[in-house]
A and B are shown apart, each in its own frame.
Chain A
Amino acid sequence: DARVTQTPRHKVTEMGQEVTMRCQPILGHNTVFWYRQTMMQGLELLAYFRNRAPLDDSGMPKDRFSAEMPDATLATLKIQPSEPRDSAVYFCASGLPQVQPQHFGDGTRLSIL
């Protein structure tokens, strides 16, 4: 079965460090989503892309977060500088326009000390 692949699966780092999370969408999917999951806020959409162009990043803190798609097979989410409140599980999902469902990766569990 085709899968969305996220790396790393776990990341522990100190406050102030740069964090980069990567996502390989399912081949042929041109829409990529980044979500953040926390106990307090649940699942929140941070940003999403179609054909590598950002469509909506209104859920993402602009001062420290950035999301890009260098090519169709790679999406990245960066945090610089990281803060303890960024600790969460970050999910990537991919899909096709107007065709559900979105397919989720297994997430990156991020801990900022």
Chain B
Amino acid sequence: AQSVTQLGSHVSVSEGALVLLRCNYSSSVPPYLFWYVQYPNQGLQLLLKYTTGATLVKGINGFEAEFKKSETSFHLTKPSAHMSDAAEYFCAVSSAQGGSEKLVFGKGTKLTVNP
């Protein structure tokens, strides 16, 4: 079974500050890892994904994440927060084995950006 733990249900940063959202996963097979963002009253949008290859993944809106197998982590970062980054962020894992596309989501982290 796969699982995702997102540390911190709420994170607050100042505009221009570093954003760090933590995600740890558990998987018995090589994982596919994802970060999604959800704005109020909307569905989820993909920020970035890791499948294979380069462990540092760049996504949209200046976000990036690094896959660290030894730490079973996939933390999301952005060097400088913008007011428009305020949203809820979800980390998810999928099994690379067998082509399964089922996503298991973390509980989410709500990001607040203060002016």
Contact = CB atoms under 8 A, between A and B. Distances in A.
Interface in A79-113: 91, 93, 95, 97-98, 100-102, 104-107, 109
B102 A100 contact: no
Nearest to B94: A100
Contacts of B44: 91, 93, 104
Question: Which range holds the interface residue count of chain B?
Answer: 20 to 34
What is the interface of chain A mostly: helix, strand, loop, or mixed?
Answer: strand
A9 to B, nearest CB: 8
B107 A97 contact: no
A101 B34 contact: yes
B89 to A, nearest CB: 12
B42 A100 contact: no
Contacts of A107: 41-43
Contacts, number: 52
Contact of B43 (A45, A97, A106): A106
Given A42-B108, A43-B90, A106-B41, A101 B102 contact: no
Contacts of B105: 42-43
A24 interface: no
Nearest to A48: B102
Given A33-B103, A43-B105, A43-B108, 14 more contacts: A4-B43, A33-B101, A33-B102, A42-B105, A42-B106, A42-B108, A43-B90, A48-B101, A95-B101, A100-B49, A101-B49, A102-B103, A105-B43, A109-B41
